[in-house]
Amino acid sequence: MAHCRVKEAEQILDREFPVLNRGFVRLVDYLGSDQRIVQAARVSYGEGTKTYREDRGLIHYLLRNRHTSPFEQVNFTFHIKMPIFVARQWVRHRTARMNEISGRYSILKDEFYLPDEKHVSLQSKDNRQGRAGEEVPSDLRKEILALLDEEQRQIYKNYQKLLSKGIARELARINLPLSVYTEMYWQMDLHNLFHFLELRMHPHAQLEIREYAKTIFSIVEKICPIACEAFKEHVLGSVRFSRKEMKALKEIIDGKEPPLDGKDLDRFMKKLKMLEDI
């Protein structure tokens, strides 16, 4: 099996793609492409790459039917700079291999995340983990950003004071906020990366991690355009129904009321609304 080289990938290696106010995503290395996926899928009966149309059809078939192992043959290594609160969500995806900068060995930089004014939002009343959609008055947004900025500056000033007194770095860092930036090398295969992207590109994911997920997807799309096309078609652009919901769909097709109530009905109606929006 020949080594896969993708011209579009070679052109962006080590290029920083900015995210948020001070973060970035950088492609460090890659292994494989769409070609590697079809080669791996066909190895069982000794046939390699066929025509573009046949390869595209195979990749769509594999993703649609959840044949995941060929996608595991493709790997990506990224260098990512992100706020710590984003990193703490990121490490929930335990199928990755990662190495993060250490505040025990290194002096952390005076770099903090401040949201854009338009992204300063109130707490949602019906979603414990999310922002509300209503408009926040401009004077309140400015006040919040000023408070965040002032506190970040004071905390970093105290951090520097502790270091100047010879206090150990591992102790001096402990009051630094979640908004300080960290960096990591992060490696994941395409199958698990698609799972990461499915969750972190979802509208319910926190805005900040969505921005990183969208940037990563735009990079992967240059290397595996057919696989990413299939991902958008069969994962991002799809709606999954449970067994109970499938029965409810049948009832609706037959002109009857769906046999659901309470939260089951609410979830079902939200999925139907998603179908309307496609």
What does each of the 278 residues of the chain score in pLDDT, given as a tens digit? 556 789 999 999 999 999 999 999 999 999 999 999 999 998 855 555 568 788 999 999 999 999 999 999 999 999 999 999 999 999 999 999 999 999 999 999 999 999 999 998 888 887 777 777 788 899 999 999 999 999 999 999 999 999 999 999 999 999 999 999 999 999 999 999 999 999 999 988 999 999 999 999 999 999 999 999 999 999 987 778 888 888 888 888 888 888 888 888 888 887 777 666 55
CA nearest neighbour of 103 among 175, 17, 161, 27: 175
CA-to-CA distance for 37 and 4, rounded, in angstroms? 11
CA-to-CA distance for 277 and 265, rounded, in angstroms? 19
97 DSSP β-pair partners = 187
Among 131, 200, 210, 267, the active-site one is 200
CB-based contacts of 231: which residues, under 8 Å, 6+ apart?
A: 63, 194, 197
CA-to-CA distance for 34 and 59, rounded, in angstroms? 8
Is residue 153 annotated as a catalytic residue, yes or no? no
CB-based contacts of 128: which residues, under 8 Å, 6+ apart?
A: none
Whether the Cβ atoms of residue 181 and residue 22 lie closer than 8 Å to each other:
yes
CA-to-CA distance for 189 and 180, rounded, in angstroms? 28
Q: Which two tokens stand for residue 217?
A: 């997807």
CA nearest neighbour of 192 among 260, 88, 98, 111: 98
Per-residue burial over 36-63, b if 16 or more Cβ lie within 10 Å, else e, is bbbbbbbeeeeeeeeeeeebbebbbebb
CA-to-CA distance for 44 and 148, rounded, in angstroms? 57
Block residue for tokens 């997920």: 213
CA 147: distance to chain centroid? 29
Q: What is the dihedral of CA 207, 210, 212, 215, to 10 degrees?
A: -130
Helix (H, G, I), strand (E, B) or coil at 146: helix
